[in-house]
Amino acid sequence: MYQYKTLSNGIKVVAEKIDYLKSISIGVWVGNGSRYENKEVNGISHFIEHMLFKGTKNRSAAQIAHEIDSVGGQLDAFTSREYTCFYTKTLDSHIPIALEILSDMLYNPSLSPDDMALERQVIKEEIRMYEDSPEDLVYDLSSYAAWGDTPMGRTILGTYESLDSITPDIMRNYMNNHYTSANTIISVSGNFDDTFFELLEKYFGTKKMLDTKPYLPDAPYISKNNIVKEKDIEQVQLVATFKGIDVMDESVYSLLVFNNVFGSGMSSRLFQNIREQRGLVYSISAGHSAYINTGVFDISAGMSPESLGEVAHLISKEINTIKRNKLTSAEITKAKEQLKGNYILSSESTGARMQGAGRSLLLNKPIYTQEEALKKIDAVNADSVAEIIDRVLDSSTMCISAVGPVNNVENLFELD
């Protein structure tokens, strides 16, 4: 059962008490990611994530690490296109130190020029690592293909030039305008007592913040946009992107059922028919990424250059087959049972439960109980699956991205 609170400064809280546990996961979510950035400061959201671990007015970076390690806790963060999350997992007896460290990082970052110079170099190394990883690079290209030179199409990490332009004053001003009470929520899953909300108020509710939300740029999808980066490597990394569904679309359950059969996991058609039966790829999969008012459905694979044409032909065949014949009732039933099993197993993690509730509250989505979510999966039927297959596998929206010893992907796929 979820409890909802609003702190004195306007920060919203969703908390799920699980009293048979001895642990708790706490996440501070900010509605800010690379989609909110202009080109000049591209990468600043991810840069901020790094800098909040580099020390505060009260603690050095080493002290932050030592204090959380000394109680056997975990402290981490991640930045996406639309949000940033800072989170801890500790024993319930260490809630005060977890909240105190998180609030200190969020409210009192030092952002010293020396630390920024060091961390800027770390992020540049991260960029180099991604550029040397074709599997990662091809997804950056696929985003650019789908959304072009817009905040959604640019990399989360930023560029060497944009990172060099970010000063402590620019970062602090950016945080003041994006890390606001109206744009921040706290999500909690695990064991806590009646004093917990008093602690939240003490550490988070007394901070005065702006109560505005930053402007969210639109992200119009670009169809038929292909991008190739020639690279002297042993494999071709390929991504075929289609216009997907947005984060509020309830047909996601039908999409998950369809993709469970089509491209998700080792039992999927793509994996079985192209990797297992023919050995043409090491990895092949499909999945969707949903965002505010936009989304994509990707099919990705890695293969030797001489196998590119055959793999694209086989992927085309699988797409045409599932569009033509849809799924059988037996396939739908099996996929629904597998999804329910996966959902229940993931729900046994407080971290996963905290993330699910936090992301939903931040994006103004309903937060479903386990029973409600399972009913949503059970409600999927042949008609809803057929409808989402036709929507998502629309060949007129396809974009192709590739990295490797290849210079042309035009007419690579043969779609009906």
User: Span 83-99, mean pLDDT?
Assistant: 98
Domain locations in the chain?
A: 2-205, 227-404
Give the number of other CB atoms < 10 A from CB of residue 266: 9
CATH of domain 227-404: 3.30.830.10
Residue 279: band (very low, low, confident or very high) from pLDDT cuts 50, 70, 90: very high
Give the model confidence (pLDDT) of 14-31 as tens digits. 999 999 999 999 999 999
Give the model confidence (pLDDT) of 229-251 as tens digits. 999 999 999 999 999 999 999 99
Helices (H) and strands (E) in the chain, counts: 15, 11
Give the model confidence (pLDDT) of 332-389 as tens digits. 999 999 999 999 999 889 999 999 999 999 999 999 999 999 999 999 999 999 999 9
Q: Which residue of the set 16, 49, 119, 318 is catalytic?
A: 49
Q: Can you give 267-290 as a three-state secondary structure string?
A: CCHHHHHHHHCCCCCCCEEEEEEE
Per-residue pLDDT, 343: 94
pTM reported for the whole predicted model: 0.96
Per-residue pLDDT, 293: 97
Is the C-alpha dihedral spanning 139, 145, 146, 151 positive or negative? positive
Residue 146: band (very low, low, confident or very high) from pLDDT cuts 50, 70, 90: very high
CATH topology of domain 2-205: Cytochrome Bc1 Complex; Chain A, domain 1 (3.30.830)
Match 């090491």 to its residue by tokens.
Answer: 282
Per-residue pLDDT, 230: 97
User: Span 159-173, mean pLDDT?
Assistant: 98
Return the structure tokens found at 348.
């046994």
Return the structure tokens found at 14.
């969703």
Answer yes or no: 49 catalytic.
yes
Enumerate the β-bridge partners of residue 90.
24
Evaluate if residue 135 carries a pLDDT over 90. yes
Evaluate if residue 1 carries a pLDDT over 90. no
Q: Which helix (H) or strand (E) holds 75?
A: strand 74-79
Give the number of other CB atoms < 10 A from CB of residue 244: 24
- Domain 2-205 and domain 227-404 have a common topology: yes
* Burial readout 15-50 (b: 16 or more C-beta within 10 A, e: otherwise): bbbbeeeebbbbbbbbbbbbbbbeeebbbbbbbbbb
Enumerate the β-bridge partners of residue 242.
297
Maximum distance among all alpha carbons in the chain?
Answer: 64
Backbone angles phi, psi at 377, to 5 degrees: -65, -45
Give the model confidence (pLDDT) of 252-270 as tens digits. 999 999 999 999 999 999 9
Query: What are the residues whose beta carbons fall under 8 Å from the beta carbon of 414, sequence distance 6 or more?
Result: 312, 313, 316, 320
Rg (alpha carbons) of the chain, rounded to whole number = 23
Report the chain's mean pLDDT, rounded to a whole number: 97
- 190's torsion region: left (phi>0), alpha (psi -120 to 50) or beta? left
